[in-house]
Structure 1
Amino acid sequence: MTATVYLITGANRGIGYSLVHRLSTRSNTTIYAGARNPAQATALHELSAKSAAKIVVVKLDSLNTQDPKDVAKQIEKEEGKVDVVIANAGIAKYFGPLTETPLSEFQDHFDVNTKGPIVLFQATHALLEKSNKPTFVLLSTTGASIDTAVPFPVSAYGTSKIAANFVVARIHAEHPKFIAFAVHPGFTNSDMGNEAAEAFGMEKAPNTLEETSTGIVKLIDEGKREEKVKFWDFEGNTLGW
């Protein structure tokens, strides 16, 4: 029986690390855990040493378009396929009204949150084709839901994620064998989530990393090809685009 192979970006902390940790208890599983600087990803290396799953820490920087190609070549050589790609890496670093948001912030968020998943999919789609259940997951946000219209000043972040959501819709449309969906992970008390919460006048973000990662893994495990592309929250509720 061949191993189930995962590739997770932004895996050295926050939601990404929590996902790796959640999957690490599974045998016959290989997890390629992306980090900008693998040598400094201490927590991942420590987890790897005691994990039932095989964890391979790889260099993946969302701003480096070569990194996903190099990782794809490594996975091709070592595993021959990938079953699940989770585009988790992202930034949310500016909070303010639209009238005051610099264009440079839109560009910065687009470079990581939109171009990152595009390059990742372009590098890995051939490996996904070799899977019996190819799954591409985008970590998105209700801040990118026009339907929901959350009352937070996230123009740059939300715009970049709306564009990324459209990328997921194109994957669904162009690859009828693939399971592709976007998922809102909740307002998670990761470093990034808590920084945002503080900017919004909150003490901390309300959702735990354990809740988030458990919900996302459940969505992946139970995922199936849908007639229309889905935007879920981590509890399995359908969100409006």
Structure 2
Amino acid sequence: MTQLADQTVLVTGANRGIGREFVRQLLDRGVAKVYAAARDPRTIVADDPRLVPLQLDVTDADSVTRAARIAPDVSVVVNNAGIARVGSVLDPDTSNLRHELETNLFGPLAVTSAFTSPLVQHSGIVINVASIVSWIALGGTYGVSKAALWSATDSMRLELGPRGVQVVGVYVAYVDTDMSAGADAAKSNPADVVRQVLDGVEKGEVEILADDVTRAVRANLHQPIETQIAQFLPHRAGQSDPA
């Protein structure tokens, strides 16, 4: 069993949505400190002495290196920062896909790499916020980036698990955040998603499926993609991507 109380946590993308909820619930669970990271740390409301706003752009190598130097005591990393452009995978202009890969894949890899030493020292935790579109192709270029994060999370686990680090993948469909504001679909409450994640982490789980749709998709990966879409996500036409 893993205890989050007294841990020192880094949360990327902490200024809104799921990231902000991670900060709130981690403080409620008695962590020693939360480095709330954002590109603009002025967007972080530091209303608790344990909360430390931290400038971090996960796509900037210098920014990541500087953050690791400022926060050498981190024992838990929550890779939450992400973007969604949802472009066509066949668009000859690959800028959307490249931007998503930089943030959604290379960002978590860079942050985890930079904090590997303290994570190993503290037998720490890495939490990667992925998506249901890691498995079901509803998000175009965004889905490609999240599928890559799914694979990277499993690879991180193979490398870091034997060194005592718990690597957790989080998978969820639509969440009621700014990212999915345009989706006319049922959405999970961010507070419920984060509660499931933190409960699962403390139980030692390495994969968190945060809603019924995601659990159904995960259980039926052997089905053709057309069957999955028809059965679980018939509203997909014209929608933006899940979280």
TM over 0.5: yes
Q: Which residue pairs with 1:179 in the alignment?
A: 166
TM-score where L is the length of structure 1 = 0.79
Q: Which residue pairs with 1:227 in the alignment?
A: none
Rate the CA distance shift 1:72–1:183 in 2: closer, same or farther, 3 A. Answer: same
Rate the CA distance shift 1:59–1:217 in 2: closer, same or farther, 3 A. Answer: same
CA contact (8 A) 1:63 1:116 kept: yes
Deviations 1:110-152 (A, max 9, x none): 11111101110110010101114x111110011011xxx25x2
Shift of 1:194: 1.7
2:153 aligned to which of 168, 184, 189:
168
Question: Following the alignment from structure 2 to structure 1, what is the Cα–Cα distance between the partners of residues 166 and 30?
Answer: 23
1:142 aligned to which of 132, 151, 156:
132
1:26-65 superposed matches below 5 A: 26-39=29-42, 41=43, 44-45=44-45, 48-49=46-47, 51=48, 54-65=50-61
Structure 2, unpaired ranges of 5+ = 222-243
Structure 1, unpaired ranges of 5+ = 225-229
1:85-124 superposed matches below 5 A: 85-96=77-88, 98-100=89-91, 102-124=93-115
CA contact (8 A) 2:8 2:74 kept: yes
CA contact (8 A) 1:8 1:31 kept: yes
Residue type of the partner of 2:155?
R
Deviations 1:13-36 (A, max 9, x none): 000001101122243521011011
* Matched pairs, number: 211
Question: Following the alignment from structure 1 to structure 2, what is the Cα–Cα distance between the partners of residues 116 and 28?
Answer: 24
Q: Which residue pairs with 1:128 in the alignment?
A: 119
CA contact (8 A) 1:7 1:31 kept: yes
Question: Following the alignment from structure 1 to structure 2, what is the Cα–Cα distance between the partners of residues 166 and 16?
Answer: 22
Question: Following the alignment from structure 1 to structure 2, what is the Cα–Cα distance between the partners of residues 66 and 219?
Answer: 33
Rate the CA distance shift 1:171–1:161 in 2: closer, same or farther, 3 A. Answer: same
SS at match of 1:92: coil
Residue type of the partner of 1:135?
I
Q: Which residue pairs with 1:232 in the alignment?
A: 208
TM-score where L is the length of structure 2 = 0.78
Question: Following the alignment from structure 1 to structure 2, what is the Cα–Cα distance between the partners of residues 108 and 56?
Answer: 28
Greater shift, 206-215 or 26-35, is seen at 26-35
1:72 aligned to which of 59, 65, 68:
68
Question: Following the alignment from structure 1 to structure 2, what is the Cα–Cα distance between the partners of residues 219 and 190?
Answer: 22
1:5 aligned to which of 5, 8, 17:
8
CA RMSD of aligned residues (A): 2.3
SS at match of 2:204: coil
Shift of 1:183: 0.6
Question: Following the alignment from structure 1 to structure 2, what is the Cα–Cα distance between the partners of residues 27 and 16?
Answer: 17
SS at match of 2:169: strand
